[in-house]
Amino acid sequence: MMRAFVVALIFTLPASAAEPLRFQWKAGDKHAYTVSQSTTVAETAPIEAGGKPQTTEYSTKLTLAKRWDVKEVDAAGVGTLTLTITAMKQEITKPVVGKGGKIAAETIVMDSATPEGAKEMAAFLNVPILTAKVNTRGGLVEAKSTGGDSAVSRLQAELPFRVLLPEKHAEVNAVWDRTFAVKLDPPLGTGESHAAKQTYKLRAIQNGHAVIGVSTAFDNPPAAAADLQPLLPWLWEGDVFVTIDTGRYAGAKLKAARTISNHQGAGTKFEFASEYVEAVAGK
Helices in 51-158 by DSSP H: which ranges?
115-120, 149-157
- pLDDT digit string (tens) for 16-53? 457 899 999 999 999 999 999 999 999 998 877 667 88
Whether 1 shows a pLDDT value over 70: the answer reads no
Let me know: does 231 contact 221? Beta carbons within 8 Å.
yes
Looking at the DSSP assignment, which residues form a beta bridge with residue 90?
Answer: 62, 110
The chain-wide mean pLDDT, for the chain, equals 90
Whether 12 shows a pLDDT value over 80: the answer reads no
The 10 Å Cβ neighbour count of residue 78 is 16
Helix (H) or strand (E) holding 7: helix 2-12
Helix (H, G, I), strand (E, B) or coil at 86: strand
- pLDDT digit string (tens) for 148-201? 888 899 999 999 999 999 999 999 999 999 999 999 988 888 889 999 999 999
User: Residue 101's pLDDT is what?
Assistant: 65
The pTM of the full predicted model, rounded to 2 decimals, is: 0.88
CA distances (Å), origin 49, targets 52, 54, 99, 264: 9, 12, 20, 12
Helix (H, G, I), strand (E, B) or coil at 152: helix
- pLDDT digit string (tens) for 232-252? 999 999 999 999 999 999 999
User: Residue 55's pLDDT is what?
Assistant: 87
Distance CA 30, CA 41 (A): 35
Amino acid at 151: A
User: Residue 243's pLDDT is what?
Assistant: 98
CA angle 171, 173, 176 (to 5 degrees): 85
Can the peptide bond before residue 230 be classed as cis, meaning omega within 30 degrees of 0?
no
Domains of the chain, with CATH numbers? Answer: 20-280 (2.30.230)
Percent of the chain with pLDDT over 90: 76
Whether 102 shows a pLDDT value over 80: the answer reads no
Percent of the chain with pLDDT over 70: 92
